[in-house]
Amino acid sequence: MNDNQNHKEYKGYNGTLILTDTGVIIKRGAKGFFLGGGMLRGDKTIPYSSIVAVQLKKAGMTAGYIQLTLKGGSEAKSGLFQSATDENSINFHSAFGGNNNELFNEAKTLIEEKINSVGIPKSSGLDELEKLATLKEKGIINDEEFNAKKKQLLGL
C-alpha cells in the first residue's frame, strides 16, 4: 500500500484499488487484462456516491477478492471465478507471510465509511428555520428565541 496525496493503493493480482477523497479508482495493467480473459480494460473511476455495498472474500487456499456493488449495476454472483472478470472487483492472494487480507479489509472499511457519510444530507438553514417556526407555533420557543436563532441561521 502506498500513501501519497490522500491516495491509498491496494495492489491485487488483476489490478490496483486506489482510494481517493472522492472515489475509488480501479487501475488495470496488462496483467489484469490477461487475467480477466481480455475483458478488463483500462482504469475505472467510481465516485463513492455510486457505491452501495462492498464485499470482501478473504484469501486462503484460494484467492480473495474485494467487489464493489454500484447503483443500478449487477455484480458477479458466482464467487471467485466470476469476480476475475468483473470490472468492479480486484482479486488478491494471501501472499505467504503477507497481509493482503488485512490490507483489503482496511480498504473495505474505508470505502464503507465514505459511502455511509456521502448519503447523509446536510440540513440547510431553511430547513432549520422551518423547524424553528413549528416550535414557535407549538409554543415550545417564544418570539424572542425564534428571532435570535433566525438571525443566527441567516447570518444577520
Map out the domains of the chain with their CATH numbers.
Answer: 3-118 (2.30.29), 125-154 (no CATH)
Give pLDDT tens digits for 67-109.
Answer: 999 887 654 455 555 555 678 888 998 866 568 999 999 999 9
Work out the number of other CB atoms within 10 angstroms of the CB of residue 32: 24
pLDDT at 117 over 60: yes
124: pLDDT strictly greater than 80: no
- The residue with cell 422551518 is 130
Asked whether 18 and 104 are in contact (CB, 8 A), the reply is: no
* The pLDDT of residue 135 is above 50: yes
**Mean pLDDT of all residues in the chain?**
78
